Amino acid sequence: ITIPVGILASLLLAWSVFRIAKTRTAMPAVIKSALKQREFFLEYQPLVELATGRWIGAEALIRWRRTTGEVVPPDIFIPVAEACGLIQQISQYVAKQFASEAGDLFRRYPGFHVGINVAAADIHDEATVLMFRELAAATGAGRNNIIVEATERSFTDHSRAATVIKQMRQEGFPVAIDDFGTGYSSLAYLERIRFDYLKIDKSFVDTVNTDAATSGVVLHIIEMAKALNIEMIAEGVETELQAQFLYEQGVRFGQGWLFGKPMPFSQLLEGLEKSMPMANHQADS
């Protein structure tokens, strides 16, 4: 029997759509059990000062490796966790996990910064302030050393988000607007909410030194951040040319595969030893 290629292709497509839908609906239960089984862990991506290449901080990024060995990326399971009311449990898990591994990180490197991503539910909930207060106390970090990363797409209720962000800043925690430029009304937020850092989304960094239609946008973002006096962090820097260009335009910090991929905490510490071997002495004196 010969089956036309077209039919075969649509059968295959239907099968994969079915499989994805099946995992999606099963996911809430799977996430719940993964929390119990502690299948989540953190990796840290260096945050670099472009002028010197020094690691001045890191972003904590959640990872999920299932017992089957399958790795599920956060872009897939975070939205599901948000939709089914499990996100706060995940945020607590991340905070606890970080506190448990941070050890004497901040004592040895007093100037180090760690970025923690918060979800939509967190940025609308005043209890998040408490979570960060506890995190600072548990790790011995100065509040100024823990950066709250909130993506602008998560601001559903502007005035509530603004209240929580304002409170975080009053408590001394710097707040970064993440994935800047990817939401619906980036400019409106900047007018209403004060931020400490603006993370230029990778999609704009990608256009540097290309002739893509959007390649001029990154310059406008930079100009605006300068006018508002917000420190910038470029995300997803992959080439020396991008780093050079951004630095010349006045972007102070960067993150990306050029400098380092997300890595286990132990590896971050090893890198820090090499990058800032003097920090020990500074902390001791």
Residues at the site binding Mg ion, with contacts judged by CB under 5 A: 117, 149, 178-179, 235
Beta strand segments in 66-211, E? 71-72, 113-118, 146-151, 175-180, 197-200
Q: Does 179 bind ligand C2E (CB under 6 A)?
A: yes
Q: Does 176 bind ligand C2E (CB under 6 A)?
A: no
CB of residue 13 vs ligand C2E: minimum separation in angstroms? 26
Q: Which of 145, 151, 186, 242 binds ligand C2E (CB under 6 A)?
A: 151
Residues 80-139 that bind ligand C2E (CB under 6 A): 94, 117-119
Tracing tokens 């993964």 back to the chain, one arrives at 34
The whole-angstrom separation of Cα 207 and Cα 112 is 30
Query: Of the two residues 101 and 178, which places its CB atom closer to Mg ion in the complex?
Result: 178
The whole-angstrom separation of Cα 10 and Cα 27 is 25
Q: Which of 62, 190, 208, 232 binds ligand C2E (CB under 6 A)?
A: 62
Q: Does 238 bind ligand C2E (CB under 6 A)?
A: yes
Q: Does 206 bind ligand C2E (CB under 6 A)?
A: no
CB of residue 93 vs ligand C2E: minimum separation in angstroms? 9
Angstrom distances, CA of residue 259 to CA of 20, 46, 161: 34, 7, 32
Q: Does 73 bind ligand C2E (CB under 6 A)?
A: yes
Who's near 280: CB < 8 A, 6+ residues apart? 108
CB of residue 99 vs Mg ion: minimum separation in angstroms? 19
Q: What is the separation of C-alpha 125 from the centre of its chain, rounded to a whole number of angstroms?
A: 19
Residue 257 contacts which entry, ligand C2E, Mg ion, none (Cβ below 5-8 A, type-dependent) = ligand C2E
Tracing tokens 């989304």 back to the chain, one arrives at 201
